């Protein structure tokens, strides 16, 4: 599902005009991004938790040349699904 599809789904489900649905969706995404950047974690009840995960520096290998390379430490964003989402996905 794309952003456009989600905006249309929000509009259909709520009866909200498309422009308002787009504004609401964009605001929600912006709030989650701001929270992750500032607090390193954003929880959405019924969905899950977005959080910053720290990767330490490590050795890697260049697959073309076979030589060892040092990969610097970095941060990434992780998502841990909430209980409700897990239950829905695992229904048979």
Q: Do 65 and 20 belong together in one domain?
A: no
Number of domains into which the chain is organized: 2
What end-to-end distance do the CA atoms of the chain give, in Å?
22
pLDDT in tens, 29-69: 999 999 999 978 999 998 999 999 999 999 999 999 999 99
Question: How far is the C-alpha of 56 from the C-alpha of 71, rounded, in Å?
Answer: 9
Q: How confident is the model at residue 7 (pLDDT cuts 50, 70, 90)?
A: very high
Q: Do 53 and 71 belong together in one domain?
A: yes
What pTM was computed for the model? Answer: 0.75
Q: Which domain holds residue 4?
A: 1-39
Q: Do 29 and 47 belong together in one domain?
A: no
- What's the confidence (pLDDT) of residue 23? 97
- What's the confidence (pLDDT) of residue 21? 97
């Amino acid at each position: 599902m794309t952003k456009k599809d989600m905006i249309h789904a929000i509009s259909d489900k709520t009866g909200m005009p498309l422009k308002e649905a787009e504004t609401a969706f964009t605001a929600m995404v912006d709030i989650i991004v701001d929270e992750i950047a500032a607090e390193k974690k954003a929880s959405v009840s019924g969905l899950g938790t977005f959080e910053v995960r720290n990767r330490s520096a490590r050795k890697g290998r260049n697959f073309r040349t076979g030589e060892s390379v040092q990969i610097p430490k970095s941060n990434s964003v992780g998502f841990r699904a909430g209980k409700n989402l897990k239950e829905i996905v695992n229904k048979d």
